[in-house]
Amino acid sequence: MILRTLTTVLLFLSLLNAAEYRRDFENTAPGKLPKGWIVEATHAGSRTAQWHVTLDATRPKSQQHVLTLTESGNSMFNLCYDPDIRMKDGRISVLFHANRGRIDQGGGIMWRVQDGNNYYVARFNPLEDNFRFYSVIQAQRHLICTNDNVHLSKGWHRMTIEQEGKRFKGFIDGRQMLTCEDKQIDKIGAAGVWTKADAATSFDDFVLKGRP
């Protein structure tokens, strides 16, 4: 208990001194990608998914520009991220809204991104009611841990991940739902958002507070 408390305190103190990046997409015109963000795919098919900023009337009036996967391609994993947003340890949070998807829905956060085939991802799937951490190594996805009893109402929710060394924590709407460890990717990397297959999802208020 004492060690766990000390670890939490050290993480909090380290976050106080970390760099913060916030992307709310309000300065990006609808139909465009945010400046610096790129689209890639893992297990790429002949068409990659289409990502754009769209207007969403379910968000507050001054915050209606959101990043959306508007058209799924035929790739397995759909990636949209900023290579210049860099983090090894710290905290990332994002608002997400599962719009539609027959094969898959939802999505989440990717971080420590080395390239389109190597990264960590946290994702929620409303079709399965589960919240999971994965590693993707050489384009192969590996389950790290899962919570298979997460029931969310339709609408916007906030996902948050914390990484400290090999330790992971996952939260939805402020409630901690995952705790686990993994050390397969132990390097600073980029960060962004992720969906699978035909999951069309919107994201907003992407906030990273981390350090190399």
Per-residue pLDDT of 24-66, as tens digits, reads 999 999 999 999 999 999 988 778 899 999 999 999 999 999 9
Mean pLDDT of the chain: 91
Looking at residue 47, its pLDDT comes to 83
Give the contacts of 100 (CB within 8 A, at least 6 positions apart).
200
How confident is the model over 173-209, as pLDDT tens digits? Answer: 999 999 999 999 999 999 999 999 999 999 999 999 9
| pTM of the complete model beyond 0.75 | yes
Phi/psi for 58 (5° steps) reads -80, -10
Evaluate if residue 82 carries a pLDDT over 90: yes
How confident is the model over 69-79, as pLDDT tens digits? Answer: 998 877 889 99
Looking at residue 44, its pLDDT comes to 82
Domains, the chain, in order of start with CATH, read: 2-211 (2.60.120.560)
Evaluate if residue 16 carries a pLDDT over 80: no
**For the chain, first and last CA: distance in Å?**
28
Q: Which residues pair with 77 in a beta bridge?
A: 42, 196
Evaluate if residue 169 carries a pLDDT over 70: yes
Ramachandran class of 102: left when φ > 0, alpha when ψ lies in -120 to 50, beta otherwise: alpha
pLDDT band at 18 (very low <50, low <70, confident <90, very high): low
Looking at residue 15, its pLDDT comes to 44
How confident is the model over 115-139, as pLDDT tens digits? Answer: 999 999 999 999 999 999 999 999 9
Looking at residue 45, its pLDDT comes to 75
Specify the residue for token string 């996952």: 170
Secondary structure element (H or E) that encloses residue 11, with its range: helix 2-16
Specify the residue for token string 């996967």: 69
